[in-house]
Structure 1
Amino acid sequence: MMNTGHLASRPAHVPAELVFDFDLYNLPGAAEDVQAAFAAFQQRAPDIFWTPHNGGHWVATRANDIVQMQLDHRHFSHNQIAVPAFPPGTPLVIPINLDPPEHTGYRRLLNQYMVPSAITKLEARVRQVAIDAIERLVPQGECEFIQDFSQVLPIDVFLSLVDLPIDAKKGLLPIAEQVTRGETQEIRVSGQAKMFEHLNDWVQSRRDNPGSDLLSQIVTWEIDGKRIGEAEAISYAAAIFFGGLDTVAGMSGFIALFLARNPGHRRQLAARLDDAAFMKNAVEELFRRHGLANTARLITEDLEFGGVQFKAGDLVLPANVFVGLDERINPDPLTVDFNREKPVHAIFGNGPHACPGATLARREIRIFLEEWLARIPDFSVKPGTTPVMSSGVVSGIQRLELVFS
């Protein structure tokens, strides 16, 4: 049965049997387990289906199709990555909304800045931020994990990369939340405009007096020997801030909730913190089970794909989360198994738009687990409280109260 509210009419090229009631921002069961809510659709719907929600769009649910779409930017463009599509005239977010070859020149800077050797230099800083945050919490015996840790470790490290004061996150975090999990398109579009405006003064200052930080490098970047323009610089900065302020913070929240609910897994990790190979695989398994990014693609021309007829202008949602939950490549996918031979996921995407911060994200999550479990090996969800979580362009946990001895 369809939910009430505005629904798009089924286009003539969409067979009636491929229509399913899927609303990215209001999935049944998402309040208890976001990823299991996605998996429920994966199990009962066709591999590719169409939903009338959020302007009407296709949804791809299987790993092979999703990876192929992520790799084929010629047919599946990044020009629109949200459902519903942002209105005409909405400024592009560079380089997220660009496809190769335009995307390539902007992306080159991030690739240089995020190489493993550069991340290794950051590791001491990441570890110290984690230790300081955790040791502040230990005497309290409880915390609100999102505010007290998720929005401290990755975000404080990110703000140091762009050379901004820690208290800058007070203005930035609500805007990032509005864009990624706003309840309506109007709220999300407004949030993007707010981010552009919020960054304007910082961007202007760094263009006039650049330093060696990442923000300075971005806003003064040269392509083919010419410095990018002011509007491009603000857009480029916004893309970096959206990624730096939300993704790892969201992942650490999902992982903390899982470990709070699963003491056996928690004890497994705590007992093998010094086993590098085991911890590496465990981090990948936690990523696999807790996918959170769900970006759309714009169909650029009529084509048949997976037995489905796409039309130019259609939107398709090849949500990353489905890859890790696909039982065709990950047997028993809702079960976390730290000894799984090869956890397969697409949490960082694939192809030219794969997340440039993947190495840093992996390092931050590993350090979080090492330092937290060394100091707080036993913790649980605070009795009488319920974690607050939601699905969206980037699914996340907004509140998670924990207690520990």
Structure 2
Amino acid sequence: MSLVTTAAQPSVPAHVPPERVRDVDLYNLPGAQEDVHLAWKRIQDEAPDLYFTPRNGGYWVLNRAALMNQVWPDHERFSSAKAIGIPNIPQMPAQIPIEVDPPQHRYFRHPINVAVSPRAIQSFTVEARALAIELIEGFKARGECEFVAEFAQFLPITIFLRLVDLPVSDRPWLLERAELMVRSADMVARMQAYQEIVGYLDGWVRKRRDQPGTDLISQILQIRVGDRPITHEEAVSESALVLFGGLDTVASTMGFFARFLATHPAHRQQLIDDPALIPQAIEELLRRHSIPSLGRQLTEDMVLDGVQLKAGDRVMITVCMHGLDERAWPDPLTVDFKRNVQDHLAFGKGVHKCPGANLARAELRVFLEEWLKRIPDFRIKPGEAAVSATGPVAGMMHLPLVWPVQSA
């Protein structure tokens, strides 16, 4: 990594020490297409524990687990308000509830917690299992599939669309816009995708206000923020954020899980021989293949890692760096299904911990259980390659799998 000196890049603020500057563009990491996590690991090994990149508006990057553990729960000094997106789009409304700090945050968070309660997850798990079996049986006899399009972007997204009671037929259109929102460095493209989603949801929010149901959008409309009802704009914003989260994160995580198992037959056999190990394996795979990067903004001047930071500075938490940090996890690149991984950050921590974490875990478990029962021996198709992508949410874009087909 070379220091940034090109005139095309924004200037580095005067309070940033030159030795802390690195030219890191999260939308264009060298080697990310082949393996986005190893691309980030190479940066972690070379860069300081806390470094500044002038790319995408300029911000600090937390490079080590200890700093993330310190920053993540400190919402008073590291605010989420208008800080999540990299780069920041000034004209974009706050993404509720993730860009709302306490105490208002809890009002917006409540209906999501209810929608993914343990009882609700039981029902969704039954649906997910039936759908998983249907999908796998649909291509099993073929001996191959493109995992992302034929499974990962179908199972969790279909379940999510049922949660919000939106037409499953809208899935391809919604996926295209979600992809732009989470992986495009083009602010104009991101804003256009967001506006299209907002326009789409505006009509649904109005419809649910007139004809409420039991879906999550209807529950969002019942929110009271203190002594006032949620506004229409807030309801659309929260529905949009829920939509983006539901459309991308679990699908991407499934892709990374599938690639790992396709290339590590011994680990795959462990789970086949002992399915009771699957819940622990999920936590270890989440630790090893975390996908989000989230922004924060300083509310006051402070010293962090021996460096003076200023109020208004932006800080990015690249969660995969936590799971890849050898100071926190011995031999972090090695997957060990018996490792104690209770403190991984794949779903965050504190007030902004992902509310859909338990639903995601349930869907990942269904995937592993039903896939390994039916397709125990699979690998990446010879002559082709898995393709991953970087951005605020890392993703698996293409994963061609093959397996032996038993003759009738």
The question of whether the paired residues in 2 share the 8 Å contact of 1:330 and 1:343 is answered with: no
Q: Secondary structure at the match of 1:67?
A: helix
Task: Give 1:81's match in structure 2, choosing from 59, 79, 84.
Answer: 84
TM-score by length of 2: 0.95
Q: Secondary structure at the match of 2:315?
A: strand
Q: Secondary structure at the match of 2:330?
A: coil
Partner of 2:358: 359
The question of whether the paired residues in 2 share the 8 Å contact of 1:323 and 1:344 is answered with: no
Q: Percent identity?
A: 47
Instruction: Single out whichever of 164-173 and 183-192 deviates more from structure 2.
Output: 183-192
TM-score by length of 1: 0.96
Output the CA distance in 2 between the equivalents of 1:106 and 1:55.
29
CA distances 1:329-382 after superposition (whole Å, capped 9, x unpaired): 210101111121336421111111110000001111011000001000111111
What stretches of structure 1 move > 4 A for 4+ residues in a row? 2-5
The question of whether the paired residues in 2 share the 8 Å contact of 1:51 and 1:57 is answered with: yes
The question of whether the paired residues in 2 share the 8 Å contact of 1:299 and 1:312 is answered with: yes
The question of whether the paired residues in 2 share the 8 Å contact of 1:207 and 1:220 is answered with: no
Partner of 1:371: 370
Task: Provide structure 2 residue ranges, at least 5 long, that are not aligned to the other structure.
Answer: none
Task: Give 1:258's match in structure 2, choosing from 245, 260, 274.
Answer: 260
Q: Secondary structure at the match of 1:71?
A: coil
Partner of 2:172: 170
> Aligned-pair distance for 1:71?
0.3
Output the CA distance in 1 between the equivalents of 2:137 and 2:342.
32
The question of whether the paired residues in 2 share the 8 Å contact of 1:293 and 1:321 is answered with: yes
Q: Trace 1:2-401 onto structure 2 (pairs within 5 A).
A: 6-79=8-81, 80-87=83-90, 89-224=91-226, 226-273=228-275, 275=276, 278-342=277-341, 344-401=343-400
Task: Provide structure 1 residue ranges, at least 5 long, that are not aligned to the other structure.
Answer: none
The question of whether the paired residues in 2 share the 8 Å contact of 1:219 and 1:236 is answered with: no
The question of whether the paired residues in 1 share the 8 Å contact of 2:287 and 2:341 is answered with: no
The question of whether the paired residues in 1 share the 8 Å contact of 2:3 and 2:21 is answered with: no
The question of whether the paired residues in 1 share the 8 Å contact of 2:35 and 2:387 is answered with: no
The question of whether the paired residues in 1 share the 8 Å contact of 2:104 and 2:225 is answered with: no
Q: Secondary structure at the match of 1:295?
A: strand
> Aligned-pair distance for 1:136?
0.6
The question of whether the paired residues in 2 share the 8 Å contact of 1:7 and 1:56 is answered with: no
Q: Secondary structure at the match of 2:48?
A: coil
> Aligned-pair distance for 1:132?
0.9
> Aligned-pair distance for 1:176?
0.5
The question of whether the paired residues in 2 share the 8 Å contact of 1:58 and 1:317 is answered with: yes
Instruction: Single out whichever of 34-43 and 281-290 deviates more from structure 2.
Output: 34-43
> Aligned-pair distance for 1:165?
2.2
